[in-house]
Every structure is written in C-alpha cells, then in structure tokens.
C-alpha cells in the first residue's frame, strides 16, 4: 500500500507534506508522482518529483519519486491502482468556470474515477 502525491511542479510542498503525513500515519510508502507530456522525457518528470521531495521534506524516509509521460489523470489513476494507493493527494489548480467546462480538470477526473480516497490540498492557510 502507498500514498500517491501527484505534483505538477516541484513547487508543491503542501501536497508532498500532506502526503508524507498520511504515509507516516498509516505506515505506508509515499510516492511523489509527476506526469509530463509525451514530448518531454521520463527523466524530466522524475526530476520534478525528486525536486518536489527535496523542497518539501528535510529527512524523507520511505519516499519514492516517480515520473511518467502521458495524460495526467489516466496516468495518476493507473499509478494509484498499480501501487494499491490508499490515498491520492492533489493540489487542484484554480480554473475559471469556462475553463473547467472546456478543458476539464485533472483533479475532477481523478476524483470521479479513483478507487482510492482523494485528498485536495489548497495553497491557502
């Protein structure tokens, strides 16, 4: 079992920190996961995940950084299923109502299709 913290940039400390808190509380591995478009490299995605861990945690234990390529929502859902994640932690991006209607939302797709509990972490205190 694991906790999957999906980050879209290295500057998502709250997502990683909340994921780490959950992983520690339930004695599970934290997987920090970044998905990049097919035009990028998998090593770039992994590097973003690794940098997110470095920025968020002083002494991470039982933490794995993983990168992948493709569409974010399906890749997050697939990774969570493969790792049997009990939680998926996300930092939802703010969008306008029109933007949500036209583009959809990774967070919304994950929430509606996840078999795991989805935790949203906002930027606000």
Q: What is the DSSP string of 41-92?
A: -HHHHHHHHHHHHHHH-SS--SEEEEEEES-HHHHHHHHHHHTTEEEEEE-P
Closest CA relative to residue 78, chosen from 40, 38, 33, 121: 33
pLDDT digits (tens, 9 = 90+) for 38-87: 999 999 999 999 999 999 999 999 999 999 999 999 999 999 999 999 99
What span, in angstroms and rounded, lies between the C-alpha atoms of 15 and 9? 11
Asked if the 2-120 domain carries CATH number 3.90.550.40, the reply is no
**Better-predicted residue by pLDDT, 123 or 77:** 77
The pLDDT of residue 102: 43
The pLDDT of residue 92: 76
**Better-predicted residue by pLDDT, 29 or 96:** 29
Residues 8 and 89: beta-carbon distance below 8 Å = no
The structure's pTM equals 0.90
């Amino acid at each position: 079992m694991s906790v999957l913290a999906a980050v879209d940039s290295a500057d998502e400390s709250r997502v990683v920190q909340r994921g780490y808190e959950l992983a520690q509380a339930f004695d599970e591995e934290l997987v920090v996961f970044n998905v990049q478009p097919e035009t990028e490299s998998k090593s770039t995605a992994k590097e973003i995940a690794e940098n997110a861990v470095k920025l968020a945690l002083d002494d991470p234990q039982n933490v794995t950084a993983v990168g992948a390529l493709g569409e974010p929502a399906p890749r997050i859902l697939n990774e969570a299923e493969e790792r049997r994640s009990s939680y998926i932690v996300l930092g939802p991006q703010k969008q306008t109502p029109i933007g949500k209607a036209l583009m959809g939302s990774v967070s919304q797709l994950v929430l509606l299709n996840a078999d795991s509990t989805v935790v949203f972490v906002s930027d606000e205190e």
